[in-house]
Structure 1
């Protein structure tokens, strides 16, 4: 049986980019999800402040079993349980809340809490986080990620989120980013599935180009 963590590991190897579909409506969920899957994206989150997010998660989780589907902006243990009940296997938060992480761990879900400081990062790992979402990346710089990377355990997964574009991915990767969460530059309300697929391929091309070369 393929576990959420198996899916996550496989996705990290092939394309470690998380699609953040904030504002997605349930009627858009399958077309957009299928478009992403067709381009090779396997990590998809629907933030809980989207319209009827659990319906979108349920639809995609049922129709796209090879993808890791879940929720973003998860702020409580009760919401973790709601996402799990809808078939979601991924929990992403803008902050670190130990109750959220522990509940996700208890349910066998992949959990990526948001952190910005070393204190938050170590506390999240101690609670059992699968990896760390560096958020908001707009308030940091690749040098900050590099500094965190120097003190965190070697295998720690660090995914910058916020303001990530095809043009700045290389610098973050050179500093040690394990992957990225991509939001409005990938999907915004009103975009068609074809537009999302086009954006997805642009990010894939930028990622495939590799990290910046440091002199």
Structure 2
């Protein structure tokens, strides 16, 4: 299993993701698309990417993208400790899960890989705090109340940072990133399945660059 370097512990990972403010959430059906996709994202100005374990190509895609020194690759939709091991072995530097799994969180901490579990309720956020975490994925953000809900949750949990994902787009990007409690947003519009299936890497770069510019203006 790949060792996690000290500079890649949670604080450093959070800072890296926060620097771009946008975390592309990628679903790849073919690992051969990983290299051109990674190049398109970095050309657009993003360094971090989350490759989801929703397809059989995920581990290979992470392995390919991790070879790019300019790309900071994590694994998403991680549901089991076994997937944690598979992701880390492939080169993932952080783990994202859609919900809070004590087993997944504990295993990530045991192997030394940063984890951002999903949290949608005060109870789940409290569980994350009890586990020593200060950053959670808020998913699915749009269906859970979006910025209004994040504001409500951030009031009692002042030390927690959120990565809202699900329903985030160019129309509401400013609303999310304007909230002090939001570390970054997870987005799919610059890596939409149709763009990847058609190999429209120039469009991925254009959309990524536009998103980066918009984020920096906030």
Q: 1:203 aligns with which of 186, 196, 211?
A: 211
* Partner residue, 1:29: 34
Moved segments of 4+, more than 4 Å: none
Contact kept? 1:17, 1:180, Cα under 8 Å: yes
Contact 1:36–1:42, Cα closer than 8 Å, also in 2: yes
Q: How far apart, CA to CA, are the structure 1 residues paired with 2:85 and 2:101?
A: 15
Whether 2:160 is the aligned partner of 1:152: answer no
CA distance in 2, matches of 1:130, 1:19: 21
Normalising by structure 2, we get a TM-score of 0.87
Within 2, Cα distance between the matches of 1:130 and 1:26?
Answer: 32
* Residues 79-88 or 64-73, more deviating: 64-73
Indicate how the Cα distance of structure 1 residues 128 and 82 shifts in structure 2: closer, same or farther if over 3 A, else same: farther
- 2:131 corresponds in structure 1 to 127
TM-score (normalizing by structure 1): 0.88
Cα deviation digits, residues 149-175 of structure 1 (max 9, x gap): 111142x22111001112201112333
Which position in structure 1 is the counterpart of 2:78? 74
Q: Which ranges of structure 2 fall in alignment gaps of 5 or more residues?
A: none
Alignment deviations for residues 27-63 of structure 1 (CA, whole Å, 9 cap, x no partner) = 00011112212222121111111241100101111x2
Any idea what SS the aligned residue of 1:146 has?
A: helix
Task: Give the secondary-structure state (helix, strand or coil) at the position aligned to 1:197.
Answer: helix
Higher relative CO (Cα under 8 Å, sequence separation at least 6) belongs to 2
Supply the RMSD in Å over aligned alpha carbons.
1.9
> C-alpha displacement at 1:130, in angstroms?
5.4
Shift of 1:74: 0.3
Structure 2 CA distance for aligned equivalents of residues 24 and 131 of structure 1:
29
Q: Counterparts in 2 of 1:172-183, with a 5 A limit?
A: 172-176=176-180, 177-183=182-188
1:213 equivalent in structure 2: none
Q: CA–CA distance in 2 between the matches of 1:162 and 1:9?
A: 19
CA distance in 1, matches of 2:108, 2:57: 21
Distance 1:137 1:185, change over 3 A: farther
Question: How far apart are 1:133 and its partner, in Å?
Answer: 0.6
Deviation digits for residues 35-94 of structure 1 (CA, Å, limit 9, x no counterpart): 212222121111111241100101111x22343212111001111011111111111111
Deviation at 1:205, TM superposition (A): 2.0
CA-to-partner distance for each residue in 1:123-158, whole Å, 9 max, x for gaps? 02322335211000111121110111111142x221
